[in-house]
Structure 1
Amino acid sequence: MNVDQLVREALQEQAAEQGGPRGDLAGRVLATRRRRRARTITGAALGTAAAVVVGVSALDSGREDAGPASASRTGDVIAHPGQSVPRDFVAAGKTGLAGYSVTRDVPQRNGDELLARSYFLLNPKTMKYEKADTEWAWVAVAPGMRTAAVLEGELPTRRVGMLDLRTGKVTRWITLRHGVAAVEWSPDGKRLVATAYRKNPDLMVSVPGNGSVNWPRHHGSRTGYVLIEAASGKVGPFRDVPQPDPDEDGMFPGVSRQDLHFNHDGTRLYVQQYARQGKKDYRDWYTLSGRPTSAPPAEKHAGRPQAGLSPDGRLLAADGDAKGSPVLDPMTGRKVAWVPSQEQLAWADSKRIIALACADPARCTGKNNDPKRLVLVTVDSKKAVPLTAARTAPQGYKRVWTPMLTAR
């Protein structure tokens, strides 16, 4: 694969994960490609006994892999280590996999490309993952798995739908004054933060690169955000938080998406930033009213991992590599433990993390194309419990699936 293809794929995949690397062009993008996380977009999971009904059509993919038994249930862990594309419910501790997304490139008439997502959600009647009937542009499921916020059509859009997961119907549309391209729930499920953009942040505009290299590059068009009260649908005032200007290489911090996220307890907001090569990733912090601020004391060392701070606030998931990932003391940033996984996605409880890890650790190179599987790791244990087989692409798609995780 030549440099052009590598850079192109790196930027496309960063967009799928709502983040990206910063500048030295091909060199820094490829460096980030080797250390990046496979993120997605916003999580969803199943309530323990709640009936969740989603409008779906049957998913006809998800083959069994040779190896472990196809199903396993131990205590609060429900695993299917034989499924390379999940068909049956997967969960561990307080967190479950209620679906996954898959990205694809949609060519545009002018030569640009649009990164589109398809969502595969859990049907609680069958306890299987099935492709959603509606091609939502964005799906974010609230803690407790009763309501999902959805965006439709071409992004940005000026309304947010509230989807009742028990019926599969949108019960309410909330109209906004600014177009938004992402929504995320607060940890308590009472509010949403909706990030506004002038243009679709998933539209990849083809422009000249460095020398003879050309690839789709994203534009920086974030304008700010609004907070939405879930129960009433009340929309708060628009907060101006424009996307930073491009760096000296013409690249935007994060490359594409610069969505706002709630922190551990929902008292502040942050934007994930990807540092230049050789430095640590970091977060830009804001108050709920949009003022730049410092990080909460227990999150000042937070970097790239989605898992972040543990439920009890005593541990912090940190950036890892092919050999594994450290776990930090959140107050000092000192390494206190280690887990055998590369991408820390969500805490199952205060000692266990759901993560992505190399399917064959002995052959793990640390490169982006290492086959990874969903696993459960325990702090200070060398064992990774497989929750799925190595991820493959669902039938009809070219890319592997990205997990959607949240409290169940």
Structure 2
Amino acid sequence: MNVEDLVRHSLREQAGEQPPADAGFADRVLTARRRRRTRRTASVAAATAAVVGIAVAVPLLGGAEPDTRPAVGLRQDGVQAHPDQSPPREAIGAGETVLAAHYTTELRTESAKRGTMERTYWLLDTKTGTYKKDTRWSYVAVAPGLKTAAVLERGLPAHRIGLLDLASGRVERWIPVQHGVGGLAFSHDGSRLVATTYKEDPDLRTKEKMNGPDGPVWEWTSAYGRSSRSGFYVLDVAQGTGSWSAVPPERTINARQDFAFSRAGDGVYAQYIGGRDGLQQFYSLDGAKTAAPAGERHLRSDVPARLSPDGRLAALGLSREVDGAPGRSYSSILDPRTGKEVTKVRGAQLLAWADDKRLIAWERVTGLDEPYRPRLVLVTLGSDKVVPLSGVREPDKDMQQQGWEPVFARR
């Protein structure tokens, strides 16, 4: 939505609370504004900030829902980039996609041999276009539109799900659940949530004796190859109602086996080791195993970008890295129905589609024989051009403290 759309939208919002204006009022305002544009560039910027501020001040749940997409620092190519910031302090995005939040992970010990990997989130404040630390949540999923986030409190698994107004920072409503929840994901249209349930914390770590090069050592480890996952809820966000389906854990290397919706929203999937459908197993909404949809059969659960907005292309994992050439990684783009490679694109890990021709990816800036140091970049199909979006993320200090990870959402 451009500035003119924001002005028109704001005027229509005000019209609902005031006596009707005569015909063509909004268009005359915009026409006058166009005549002044060449003479008042600075005023346009100020007007933009004012309209965005009005938009995000309205509560996200119930009634009219104005646009809250961050417009601060938006370039003509639809890119918000801060290549000098890691982790980002100001809004990052491209095309339809925004970095809605980011988080770091650190071990919090509960005893000498038991702990949990705890996340700390920084959420995008759409009024200021900056990320603000919010220590209340153990898990955050952001809905399309950047108005609502689903949140879980500290101490997983949680027995209620919060719907957080990202404009005010307040939880507008709680959804109580009988089975403890450890993971959340919105449907493509944002109208439903899939909430993965666990019998114990999926991020649990225990200290165990391991065989090291110089003899036995004690290390913090996850429940490798084991998971306490019990099933999932499918919840209507507006009504706060839904049903739970029991699904036992599958073969995996991770204790965390979160579910996510298929593109059409008529099923869910989770990571699975040993399947034919690309490290993923699909289920119907009542928990029965199903085949992958035709357009998602050749995807992988460990490649976050998945399908392009129009559904015609699929992101796959890393296909090649050029030895001795930092930042020269390539990933495959497939025809999702045939599995055939259509092209390659720069990027070591494809995270999200910006539009049907561009993606946001992690791209390493170090050689293959050096510690992994990536940055967020924008890559384009059919081009070798890379646009840095963030600064370089430094290597994890150790397994007990991990660097920032992005959380993306559609505008």
Fold equivalence (TM over 0.5): yes
Say which of 274, 281, 286 aligns to 1:289: 286
How many residues are treated as equivalent by the alignment?
329
Q: 1:255, 1:149 → 2: CA distance?
A: 23
Would you identify which runs of 4 or more consecutive aligned residues in structure 1 move more than 6 Å? none
Mapped pair 1:129 → 2:131: yes
How is 1:5-404 mapped onto 2 (pairs within 5 angstroms)? 49=52, 50-51=55-56, 73-132=75-134, 134-209=135-210, 212=216, 215=219, 216-218=221-223, 219-236=226-243, 238-244=244-250, 253-274=252-273, 281-303=278-300, 304-320=302-318, 321-322=320-321, 323-360=329-366, 363-365=367-369, 369-392=371-394, 398-404=401-407
| 2:241 counterpart SS class | coil
Q: Which amino acid aligns with 1:233?
A: G
| 1:180 counterpart SS class | strand
The two structures, once aligned, show a CA RMSD in angstroms of 2.7
Q: Which amino acid aligns with 1:328?
A: L
Q: Deviations over 1:251-283 (max 9, x none)?
A: x6132101111122222100023559xx99510
Distance 1:241 1:105, change over 3 A: same
Distance 1:241 1:294, change over 3 A: same
Query: Which structure ranks higher in relative contact order (CA pairs < 8 Å, sequence separation ≥ 6)?
Result: 1
Distance 1:227 1:72, change over 3 A: closer
Q: Deviations over 1:23-61 (max 9, x none)?
A: xxxxxxxxxxxxxxxxxxxxxxxxx9552799xxxxxxx
Task: Name structure 1 gaps, 5 residues minimum.
Answer: 1-47, 55-70, 245-251
* 1:213 Cα offset (Å): 6.0
Partner of 1:45: none
TM-score with structure 1 length normalisation? 0.75
Distance 1:262 1:72, change over 3 A: closer
Contact 1:264 1:308 survives alignment (8 Å): no
Higher strand share: 2
TM-score with structure 2 length normalisation? 0.74
Q: 1:313, 1:119 → 2: CA distance?
A: 30
Q: Which amino acid aligns with 1:51?
A: V
Contact 1:207 1:217 survives alignment (8 Å): no
| Larger gyration radius, structure 1 or structure 2 | 2
Report percent identity of matched pairs: 40
Q: 1:117, 1:393 → 2: CA distance?
A: 17
Distance 1:273 1:193, change over 3 A: same
* 1:308 Cα offset (Å): 0.4
Distance 1:52 1:206, change over 3 A: farther
